[in-house]
Amino acid sequence: MSFLSKIFKSEPKLDPISLSVFGTDIHSHLIPGIDDGSPNMETSIKLVKKFVDLGYTKIVTTPHVMCDYYGNTSEKITKGVDELREELQKQNVKIDISAAAEYNLDDGLQDLIDKKDILTFGDNHVLFELPFMQEPRNLQEIIFNFQMAGYKPILAHPERYTFWYDEFEKYDELKSRGVLLQMNLLSLTNHYSPQTRKVAEKMVDANLVDAVGTDCHRIEHLMMLEDHLNLKHIHKLAEQEKMFNKML
């Protein structure tokens, strides 16, 4: 091997993993027609079949709940997943599917906490997300109120919040407060941005990721993920024994 070959030697190619290693996906938008995910039942069935092909054995699908945009109620979400489950059974698609939600930290969230009208999974875990423009001033208050009400918060895709890109210590701070961090697997590609990928890889290397999700809205997300299952950092996540997905 020449001197230049040694310098520019690429990493050895890894075999694509099966997503069966994670077992459960905890972030997706598969209920037809209630948010920006699947628009209809036909698409939902197609998406779920692809989840099965990728190796998943369980799905906790999580439609958006946003007070001013996607005003989904617990009843609407539960009815939607029941109808989806019924159609999957008719078509003999074998997978365990249930629903929670992805709650936006907006003006309506505290009221839902007060009413204990929160859809959960696992051991009373709740998935929530932040606005993308800036860190909400009441973030710590909401985390505390979740916990005081008996909920265990999981923050969706923290690697995508650009306002923390120069404050990496925020991730440690959240974990110290008992918040689990859920990474989108597509963040380890350039799907969102090269900068998001860089932050995501740094989080994996720092062992900050507690859970992973597809955040699937459409079939292209799953096809792109399938094309990148040989990535080093996806392999590193798969090797984590205490990954939350594996415990569901």
Closest by Cα among 172, 236, 244 to 208:
172
Closest by Cα among 48, 15, 12, 16 to 32:
48
Q: In the predicted model, is pLDDT for residue 64 greater than 90?
A: yes
DSSP 216: B
pLDDT grade for 4, boundaries at 50, 70 and 90: very low
CA 207 vs CA 18, 62, 172, 200, 210: distances in Å: 21, 25, 10, 11, 8
> Average per-residue pLDDT in the chain?
95
Quick: pLDDT tens for 104-126. Answer: 999 999 999 999 999 999 999 99
Model's pTM, two decimal places?
A: 0.94
Quick: pLDDT tens for 163-172. Answer: 999 999 999 9
pLDDT grade for 30, boundaries at 50, 70 and 90: very high
Which fold does the domain 19-247 belong to in CATH?
A: TIM Barrel (3.20.20)
Strand order in the sheet with 211-213: 64-65, 102-104, 125-129, 152-156, 180-184, 211-213
Tokens at 163, concatenated: 């306002």
Instruction: Kindly report the number of other CB atoms within 10 A of residue 89's CB atom.
Output: 10
Quick: pLDDT tens for 168-223. Answer: 999 999 999 999 999 999 999 999 999 999 999 999 999 999 999 999 999 999 99
